[in-house]
A and B are shown apart, each in its own frame.
Chain A
Amino acid sequence: MAVIDDTLSYARVTTVGDFFALLKPRVMSLVVFTGLAGIVVAPGHVHPLTAFTALLCIALAAGASGALNMAYDADIDGVMSRTATRPIPLGHIARGDALAFGWTISAMSVAIMWLFVNALAAGLLAFTVFFYVVVYTLGLKRRTPQNIVIGGLAGALPPAIGWAAVTGSLSLPPLVLVAIIFMWTPPHFWALSLWRCEDYARAGVPMLPVVKGKPTTRRHIFVYALLLAPLGVLPAFIGLGGLLYLVLSATMGFWMLLEAFATLRERDEEREPAAKRLFGVSLLYIFVPFTALIVEHLLHLPSLWM
């Protein structure tokens, strides 16, 4: 069982590195990247310092959400081999300190966004933190195999926050970007859960392969990849993306579909090589098309439609 007792005497002083690890820097970088895409593709002009402030607030809120997630999930993190080396299960940081750290930074990021950017961006940021921490972490994660499907909305919202930071409003294009990340999240995490199935089962987390079995999970992954492929190219047809985006998003969508099909037919349930490949390709799926969007807008390349 994980070490989460606040009264425990810690063998070492909590370091800066422990607090940094608490922010989930890899997840934070992905969130910042998609938030940046929202800022860059939004119409209109915003002062570079305002854009930087918006991005900083998105990064701080994402990190704070990660810290709160680690604090509330310290018991199951300690049981799973993937997460057992996080600072709280290792006893490097007290759970109460992580909670104080997370809630303070969350409140600070929303307040700064409200003060210096705008109320809509701040509201969306607050909703994202609330949804990730309260709805996903405290509500869905331990109760339903649909946890990452619904909870994925929190990770999908940064492009909309970035867009709102520039325009002060929301419209169809940022919501399409949100829909892409929302649809991408389940196959990404279900691929991971296929080869971490025993870990999740031991921790009592009702991930889809634990509750419904691996064959059902493979079918779900394939259906989501099938829906994601056309959705991924949609920005090219609503005036958001150009030829570069269309080619790269179509290629990545097709590649992800191929790996999802390989995962569907996978028989090596011990090593799950296809699921591991799919997980890697799914990371590229977000990175490559969103980079294309950013490059097109920075170079003022024409969009295909409108």
Chain B
Amino acid sequence: MDDNSFDKNGKAGRERRKRNIALALALGGLVILFYLMSIVQWHGNTSQ
């Protein structure tokens, strides 16, 4: 499919948008998890 003719408001466009949101949420969740786990590990190392 020609990217220029891609219908952003059609069903395919909506599904792509949902996919992008899911990917963004998953990556955002991982960033938060990495941040929190870094704090947990840092706290564990400094309290020993």
Contacts and interface: CB of A to CB of B under 8 A. Distances in A.
Interface of A: 12-16, 19, 47, 49-50, 53, 56, 112, 115-116
9 contacts: A12-B11, A12-B12, A15-B19, A16-B15, A16-B19, A47-B40, A50-B37, A115-B37, A116-B41
B37 A116 contact: yes
Contact of B44 (A14, A47, A53, A56): A47
Interface of A is mostly: helix
Given A12-B12, A56-B33, A49 B22 contact: no
Interface string B1-26: 00000000001100110110010000
Interface of B is mostly: helix
A229 B12 CA distance: 52
B15 A53 contact: no
Contact of A53 (B11, B16, B37): B37
A112 B36 CA distance: 13
A12 B37 CA distance: 39
A13 B36 contact: no
Interface in B23-45: 33, 36-37, 40-41, 44
B33 A53 contact: yes
Given A47-B44, A50-B40, A14 B33 contact: no
A15 B12 CA distance: 9
Nearest to A20: B22
A13 B12 contact: yes
A57 B15 CA distance: 27
B33 A13 contact: no
Nearest to A49: B40
Given A53-B33, A56-B33, A14 B19 contact: yes
Contacts of B44: 47
Given A12-B12, A14-B19, A116-B40, 8 more contacts: A13-B11, A14-B15, A16-B19, A19-B22, A47-B40, A47-B44, A50-B37, A50-B40
Contacts of A112: 33
Nearest to A53: B37
B36 A49 contact: yes
A14 B12 CA distance: 9
A11 to B, nearest CB: 10
A16 B19 CA distance: 5
Contacts of B15: 12-16
